[in-house]
Amino acid sequence: MSRFSLEGRRALVTGANAGIGQAIAVGLAEAGAAVVCAGRRDCDETLALVAAAGGRAEPLALDFADPMAAKGVFEGEGFDILVNNAGIIRRADSVDYAEADWDDVMDVNLKALFFTCQAFAREVLSRGGGGRIVNIASLLSFQGGVRVPAYTASKHGVAGLTKILANEWAGRGLNVNAIAPGYIETANTEALRADPERSKAILDRIPAGRWGAAEDIAGTAVFLCSPAAAYIHGAVLNVDGGWLAR
């Protein structure tokens, strides 16, 4: 079997209805995993893409407005892989930022991520390890950004949680890593791409000279979930076209 194969593995991908989460779900299925596509919106499009690629997938309704939504999801279900992709963003100047927006972003992006990792790990560690967690971080795990204080704080937190969980679980057979996407062509960046000046400023800084595709993130996730990445623990891997190198 290829060291990049996920045959016989069972994965849950959160926020799998569109964008990066959708691409990751399809990528994992193409590599052989049976994928559960979780989201607060329906994942019908993702399921159709997986089926068209010859893969296996099923839906699961999860709304991380309740940070404990995944508490009982993993018990006895044979999951080997967890990809925490679900996230939200609220924009406002920091002097005007509302407490409700702060709480909503932190609940979904950080609190739900931690307790989903915890629920997954309890199940995997109880059977002796052999699992993979991939968290979706951000360039704003390293930079400050503008007008997104809660998102920036949450994504710094994702990087930190990835490291502490790796410290605790690496020796017990559970790999925890993160991917920090750069500027990717998704709904979240539509406004930036539609602004000629902002889009040009972004592209001028990216050594690769293009916006990323969701599939660029999917390939990295497949690698981190594969046997080829067995000795990678606590990494936050930038997939940004070279943005942070400039």
What's the pLDDT tens digit per position in 17-72?
999 999 999 999 999 999 999 999 999 999 999 999 999 999 999 999 999 999 99
Does 205 fall in a domain? yes
Q: Contact 136/83 with Cβ under 8 angstroms? A: yes
Q: What is the pTM of this model?
A: 0.97
| Contact status, residue 81 vs residue 28, Cβ threshold 8 Å | yes
Could you report the per-residue pLDDT of 84-123, keeping only the tens digit for each? 999 999 999 999 999 999 999 999 999 999 999 999 999 9
Closest C-alpha among 86, 78, 14, 24 to residue 50: 24
How many C-beta atoms lie closer than 10 Å to residue 200's C-beta? Answer: 10
CB 218 within 8 A of CB 161: no
Looking at residue 187, its pLDDT comes to: 85
Please name the amino acid found at residue 173. Answer: G
Burial code (b: 16+ CB inside 10 Å, e: under 16) for 210-220 equals ebbebebbbbb
CA distance 16 to 39: 6
CA 163 → CA 176, 183, 198, distances in Å? 8, 23, 33
C-alpha angle with apex 113: 112 to 118, nearest 5 degrees?
Answer: 95
Q: What is the pLDDT of residues 106-165, one digit of tens each?
A: 999 999 999 999 999 999 999 999 999 999 999 999 999 999 999 999 999 999 999 999
Decide if pLDDT at 77 tops 70.
Answer: yes
- Let me know: does 33 contact 132? Beta carbons within 8 Å: no
CATH code of the domain covering residue 77: 3.40.50.720
Residue 4 lies in a domain: no
Does any domain span residue 2?
A: no
Contact criterion met (CB below 8 Å) for 119 and 73: yes
What per-residue confidence (pLDDT) applies to 1? 66
Compute the radius of gyration of the chain from its Cα atoms: 17
- H helix intervals, the chain: 19-30, 44-52, 99-106, 112-126, 149-169, 190-194, 196-205, 214-225
pLDDT on residue 191: 82
- pLDDT, tens only, 173-218: 999 999 999 999 998 888 889 999 999 999 999 999 999 999 999 9
Selection from 195, 103, 117 nearest residue 151 by Cα: 103
The answer to whether residue 3 sits within a structural domain is no
Choose the catalytic residue: 97, 151, 183, 231: 151
138: containing domain: 10-245
Concerning whether 151 is annotated as a catalytic residue, the answer is: yes
H helices present in 31-131, as ranges: 44-52, 99-106, 112-126
Count CA atoms closer than 13 A to 60's CA, side-chain side: 20
Q: How confident is the model at residue 172 (pLDDT cuts 50, 70, 90)?
A: very high
* Domain assignment of residue 84, yes or no: yes
Compute the distance between CA of residue 212 and CA of residue 136 in angstroms, rounded to an integer.
Answer: 15
The total number of structural domains in the chain stands at 1
Instruction: Check: CB of residue 148 under 8 Å from CB of residue 96.
Output: no
